[in-house]
Amino acid sequence: MQKWRCIICNYIYDPAVGDPDSGMGPGTPFESLPDDWVCPLCGAGKDEFERVEE
Amino acid sequence: MAPVTLVPDVYWVGAKDPGLTVFDIVIPTKYGTTYNSYLVRGTDRTALIDCVKRPFAEELFRNISEILPLTKIDYVVINHSEPDHSGALAELLSRHPGVTVLLSRSAKTFVDNLVNAGFRYRIVNDNEEVALGGKTLRFINAPFLHWPDTILTYLVEDEILFPCDFLGAHYSSPEFFNDELAEPEKARKAFEFYYGAIMRPYKEHVLKACERLKELPLSMIAPSHGPILRKDPRSYLSRYEERASVLSRIKDKKVAIVYASAYGNTAAMAEKVAEGVRAGGLIPVLLNSVEVPMDKIIDELEESAGFLIGTPTLNSNIPYPILQMIASLVVLNVKGKPASVFGSYGWSGEAIKTVQDILTSMRIKVTPEPIRVRMTPSEADLKSCVDFGKQFAEIVQGA
């Protein structure tokens, strides 16, 4: 699944892991995260993320 | 203030602000501060490390021009893009558009929004080096010390670390180096205070950096605020390490119960909540926010495994001692720490919900559900306070 990187702090959102602290279980694609979801490390919004090219 | 030589071809070219009384709106600076900026001249190229706050730009440019013309600078390193180190950058870029800004990826995003114009730049990666001719700058990624953008710059040949805010102090004095200070104990206090106000929320990152810098030869640490640390530079790192590892020394599982009470009703609830916490197997620490100094409360909150806030409601709002305590959480990283709220009220009791909402917005899961009591808590209410405390202790231990 497509990973996304926070351009502010370099946190990688891995859909396989999700963001359980925010209630986003494993398997949640980045696109399905709610619009008000923020980077769990630095608090940046979804629009501060870019695709990780593998 | 004329430039000062650290070692041959490395100069302090910053500005002093001894009259500053408050930094960043919230940090009292009784010793003023300095905005340290450094010029490193190699045989081929010259780099400026960090800028100064905008009102001090002319002073920076004047200092630089005593060494070489501004337009001869090849690079500006932005270790951290907060405006006290980047404020003068826009003016510098307008006078010398040919300069290349060296910065982290995240700093690039911030600087874009600071200068609102295009500029020449190069994003530097961890351990990347830039050769100036006889002087080499190496960049160390250090996110969250204290912004996500932070890098530290290391001058390899002279073994000087330029860590920007890390290891800094809001301290202005006529002297420049820590071994020539007239009042070293005041500078120490400023160094300690700075850690508490700025670096404290980022303990894990502080420890990571201390570990990483352990093997690095250090002749000097040249931070962006306060004295240049020439004598015993490593002792300052050790002190950070000691303070940042505070939690590893805490053996007891404590729950801080911070409250305010106008007529003793919220206080009575707090007592019963504490009883419940104890019954649940944890150590309650009762803190009356009107009597206990805020720095002591913050220490207790830092050391606690979870915390509870007892608040009355005053004209539909949160009373100031509680609001102040919530605002003071800015120096701690409480994200993910268990917490909840309780309180007695007279008319409408909005404060409990308001505190709950604030905690939720800080990414704290508020549980168990807060409890509110109108006026004097009854026997049944006091019993539910005990249950609430006990339940909370269980949640903390499960967390």
CA B216, B219, B220: angle at the middle one, nearest 5?
105
Q: How close A39 gets to chain B, by Cα (Å)?
A: 11
Mean of the pLDDT values across residues B159-168?
Answer: 98
Mean of the pLDDT values across residues B315-336?
Answer: 92
Instruction: Convert the pLDDT of each residue in B38-49 to its tens digit.
Output: 999 999 999 999
Banded pLDDT at B153 (limits 50, 70, 90): very high
DSSP per-residue letters across B79-103: S--SHHHHTTHHHHHHH-TTPEEEE
pLDDT at A22: 83
Q: How close B113 gets to chain A, by Cα (Å)?
A: 13
Q: Are B99 and B75 in contact (CB under 8 A)?
A: yes
- Dihedral (C-alpha) A24, A30, A35, A38: value to the nearest 10 degrees? 70
A12 touches chain B (CB under 8 A): no
Banded pLDDT at B250 (limits 50, 70, 90): confident
Mean of the pLDDT values across residues B311-332?
Answer: 94
- Higher-confidence residue of B279 and A36: namely B279
Mean of the pLDDT values across residues B120-144?
Answer: 96
pLDDT at B71: 97
CA distance B273 to B256: 11
Mean of the pLDDT values across residues B293-306?
Answer: 95
- Dihedral (C-alpha) B272, B273, B274, B280: value to the nearest 10 degrees? 110
Coil, strand, or helix at residue B332?
Answer: coil
| Residue in B106, B143, B336 nearest the CB of A7 | B106
| Residue in A9, A21, A40 nearest the CB of B106 | A9
pLDDT at B7: 98
Chain A hits for B363, CB-CB cut-off 8 Å, are: 21-22, 40
A48 touches chain B (CB under 8 A): yes
Q: How close B126 gets to chain A, by Cα (Å)?
A: 12
Residues contacting residue B103 through CB under 8 Å, at least 6 positions apart: B77, B78, B81, B111, B121, B122, B123, B124, B149, B151
CB contact under 8 A, A48 and B336: no
Question: How much is the mean pLDDT over chain A?
Answer: 90
Distances, alpha carbon B284 to alpha carbons A17, B95, B249, B255, in Å: 35, 60, 18, 5
DSSP per-residue letters across A22-53: GTB-TT--GGGS-TT-B-TTT--BGGGEEEPP
A8 touches chain B (CB under 8 A): yes
Coil, strand, or helix at residue B131?
Answer: strand
Residue type, B143: P
A52 touches chain B (CB under 8 A): no
Mean of the pLDDT values across residues B15-42?
Answer: 94
Coil, strand, or helix at residue B326?
Answer: helix
Q: Which residues of B have a CB under 8 Å from any CB of A? A: 105-106, 109, 143-144, 148-149, 336, 363
CB contact under 8 A, B109 and A9: no
pLDDT at B33: 97
> Considering only A43-52, B33-42, B71-80, B185-194, which range has the smallest mean pLDDT?
A43-52
DSSP B67: T
| Residue in A8, A21, A22 nearest the CB of B148 | A8
Coil, strand, or helix at residue B1?
Answer: coil
CA distance B358 to B273: 21
pLDDT at B188: 97
Distances, alpha carbon B214 to alpha carbons A8, B236, B237, in Å: 27, 12, 9
Question: How much is the mean pLDDT over chain B?
Answer: 95
Chain B hits for A49, CB-CB cut-off 8 Å, are: none
Q: For residue B284, what are the β-bridge partners?
A: B255
CB contact under 8 A, A8 and B363: no
* Residue of chain A nearest B337, judged by CA positions: A21
Q: How close B1 gets to chain A, by Cα (Å)?
A: 36
Mean of the pLDDT values across residues B229-248?
Answer: 95
- In this prediction the pTM is 0.90
Chain A hits for B105, CB-CB cut-off 8 Å, are: 7, 10
Nearest of B301, B294, B293, B268 to residue B389 by alpha carbon: B268
Chain A hits for B399, CB-CB cut-off 8 Å, are: none
Residue B399 has pLDDT above 80, yes or no: no
Give the β-pairing of B254-259 and B283-288: parallel
CA distance B214 to B191: 20
DSSP per-residue letters across B172-218: --S--BGGG-S-HHHHHHHHHHHIIIIIGGGHHHHHHHHHHHTTS--
Q: Which two tokens stand for residue A1?
A: 């699944």
Tokens 């300052």, residue located: B236
Chain B hits for A5, CB-CB cut-off 8 Å, are: none
